[in-house]
Amino acid sequence: MITDSAARRMHIIQGEYKVVSEDVVLTTILGSCVAACLRDPIAGVGGMNHFLLPGNAATPMTGGDATRYGVHLMELLINGLLKKGARRDRLEAKIFGGAKTIATFSNVGEQNAAFAVQFLRDEGIPVVGSSTGGEHGRKIEYWPISGRARQYPLTGAETQKTVALEQRPVFAPKPAENTIEFF
């Protein structure tokens, strides 16, 4: 067993998800974004995502835009777990984030957290732990094999830095050029 300090760390940024079957710690930093941490304790596989907006069936999602939405990243995370041997009926979840980091803005964090809870309920996946809401960001550490999670509250300055990162647009990589130009 790898100790906390020796475990390999994998950082998840906005618009990403990771699925692992090895003893690592997945980390992320959240403001109004939400991270869903899912695992199958029998198969020994788990993962985490990090989404900016809830999204729904009516939301047009193309290219890099899709990675911003929870509806897209939740599907990718669940499908990734199933591909690595997880069974849907054994999945369990923990949800983090969803802070209201800017008092004058709408509470997208609350909407993100509510979306994650409803999505998991609709999928029949129990939420065994959560920490959402509040006014400050969080740093999350999640050990998918054991299901252990730890969070660290961020200070006001750290939260503002996180908010600035969350407000940056996410772009998909430009597709490779496959046309030929004749002179």
Task: Give the Cβ contact number of residue 159 at 10 Å.
Answer: 23
Reading phi first (left if > 0) and then psi (alpha if -120 to 50, else beta), residue 130 is in beta
Which pair of structure tokens corresponds to residue 120? 């998991």
Q: Catalytic site residue 37?
A: no
Q: Exactly one of 25, 33, 77, 149 is catalytic; which is it?
A: 33
- Tell me how crowded residue 152 is: count the other CB atoms within 10 A of its CB: 11
Q: At 147, phi and psi to the nearest 5?
A: 85, 0
Residue 46 contacts residue 29 (beta carbons within 8 Å): no
φ and ψ of 53, to 5 deg: -135, 150
The CA dihedral of 63, 65, 70, 75, to the nearest 10 degrees, is 0
Positive or negative torsion for Cα 52, 57, 62, 67 = positive
Query: Cα(34)–Cα(133) distance, rounded to whole angstroms?
Result: 10
Q: Which amino acids are annotated catalytic?
A: 33
